A and B are shown apart, each in its own frame.
Chain A
């Protein structure tokens, strides 16, 4: 399995950054960057990361199972992550999450038919001061209301 030259360069740098015999330290960053490029974590990707980091594939699999940011199935082009932990919940996070699902017509971790959007209920993102918070791919959105979310989503739809 090969990646884009950019990513290959990144991986090479990463593997060299850790002390001798600690290549396994690169498992998590490799997975997340590779996921960004390939869209999901496939069994082939697990094998490849295991080979490059010199660990058993099962050990990479454990990591994939552990971290909720790593996905085995492809997500939408825009992955809407709504926090429902305490700070967000107190100011309408749960309603926001329900609204997002209704608006997009999908359930948790599901993808819209056109493959553009997916939604996920997530744990605290460290944005409590600006609750309720939503993260779309790597962009944070603060003090989100259902109306604000509609606008955001519609704006992204138009962008296509």
Chain B
């Protein structure tokens, strides 16, 4: 326990940890000291002078954000002197700040506006002309309006420290000082938009949100990003059934404020002109729109016929749809259609992972564990490109807690800069011995396995972890928002079912039912006679082969739950409705109804009840997830049989997200920062020497 001291703030006796910053002590005790430049989690700047406080027996006002508390201090945070000083600071900040609040994006949620309102610094003694500089566009999504900038350095610090990108800096000095991007007139960066979010004023604005709406005219819907598997909560600003912005300023969810380019901007696929809005029936060469009732009648009728004839069904599920939909789909396949031929595009070897961890508890790391772990081993993954949230957690951990990072990757990755130990895969036996020796000196370890950790590589590393005699937790990386859920719900070819490749390769497949996947993107369907039903957002390669295509709702248009890469369940909340579409769950329920099957009620909450009651590890506390939290699942606690079929990482970068990114104009418009995603799929996977498994 750290030494504590007694001090007085605004007449209140307060006990605090010695040396802690006054601004933090005050906040913990419910006293707000205003500040522009101070930002939790970033380095101190002491540039804005808003947090001035009066400390008795000290002649001048002190800066609250850099003042360590000491015993016996008597502090006033809102005395007339302090208020006068803050008013003066604001008057200075407003000398060049344009008063264009009525058209500024930030109006209504601007920290400067709030402060001027609070301290009543509405009058100015400055009669000089305001210095004006034209607005600049740095990238399709980042605009900079220099006169509005109050030079708090938040954006510079969040980019340098938070993101580790170093794309922003300050040019010139004094009144001409201005934030500049790394290429002087354009940005080359991750385009994460953290600088826009963190800006206390409207100096940095978002290309997609600017001049679209006033913040108070939107509804804010907290849901989960549908792009990668990290499960970031994104709060969508919705107005008139249109998603206008995505951010997470309220720090709800496992990601705090963090979002990458996809979470922040890439929701525009929902309104792409090619979005399907009516069921499509194949007629000769083309498709013609038909009514939902007709489409469902045809599918229900054909499915029932095929089932009666004992036909060969193949069902392909999705790594984008909800747990409820995946659960219902596998139930439909197994109980309704009587087939075990069900699979999805598997992007990580979860079967091996769970099997290697069988009989263990407390072995799955959560997203927050990456922020607190003392040591992190990254095997075969380019986290900054493929798992931006996990990479962010690791960066924050290194910055705040000095965590040790170990990387073993086939190509260069950004995390190597933070690493204390790096190996270029395939490594040698000596490399792994050296790693083990180093890890022995740590007090706890979290290991992250990417696509580069092949089957026995993963078992070897888990064996190594076990031999260390310290707590070790693991993460098996998967791509897409619900790959983990699809596996856990049983959208896998267990009990002798055909895997995805076998279904596509089988010449006597009678029916192929694809829900939210595009397996024919790089493959062909061998069975020419197969009756193909596809549920998707767009006319994908697979949909083009279909006999009937049903327009599905995207994740931003449905309720339900998804499971992230670390096995944490979170709730989706529908933000908008797109005319003509139905959720995959409703579509499946309606097909079941047409077939006269009783598969239970197809409401997300009812299906979730069934999942909690029947799926191992999913009996999560409802209050946690219904209030927007992330409830960790437990791994299957027993041996897991190996599955047929291949596993391939999608190889998405920070700027792609399977077929969704093809339909996101904004993602396609962004100049990509040169990421160095090593060709995960193109090169043979590195195999670690099997003999490293400790005896």
Contacts and interface: CB of A to CB of B under 8 A. Distances in A.
**9 A-B pairs with the lowest CB-CB distances in the bound complex, closest first:** A56-B166, A58-B169, A65-B171, A62-B169, A65-B172, A58-B182, A66-B173, A62-B170, A59-B169
> Is the interface on chain B under 10, 10 to 19, 20 to 34, or 35 or more residues?
10 to 19
11 contacts: A56-B160, A56-B166, A56-B182, A58-B167, A58-B168, A58-B169, A58-B182, A59-B166, A61-B171, A62-B169, A66-B170
Nearest to A59: B169
Contacts of A39: none
A65 B170 contact: yes
B375 interface: no
A58 B172 contact: no
Interface in A62-81: 62, 65-66
B607 interface: no
Contacts of A57: 182
A65 B173 contact: yes
A154 to B, nearest CB: 35
A36 to B, nearest CB: 22
Interface string A36-69: 0000000000000000000011110110011000
Nearest to B417: A54
Interface of A: 56-59, 61-62, 65-66
A61 B184 CA distance: 10
B180 interface: yes
B294 to A, nearest CB: 60
B455 to A, nearest CB: 39
Contacts of A58: 166-169, 180, 182
A65 to B, nearest CB: 4
A59 B157 CA distance: 12
A61 B173 contact: no
A97 B168 CA distance: 37
Contacts of B180: 58, 61
Contacts of A59: 166, 169
B45 to A, nearest CB: 14
Given A56-B160, A58-B167, 11 more contacts: A56-B166, A56-B169, A56-B182, A58-B180, A58-B182, A59-B166, A59-B169, A62-B169, A62-B171, A65-B173, A66-B170
B187 to A, nearest CB: 11
A58 B160 CA distance: 11
Interface in B156-189: 160, 166-173, 180, 182
Contacts of A61: 169, 171, 180
Which of B167, B169, B172 gathers most chain A CB within 10 Å? Answer: B169
Which of A59, A62, A66 gathers most chain B CB within 10 Å? Answer: A62
A22 B166 CA distance: 17
A158 B169 CA distance: 45
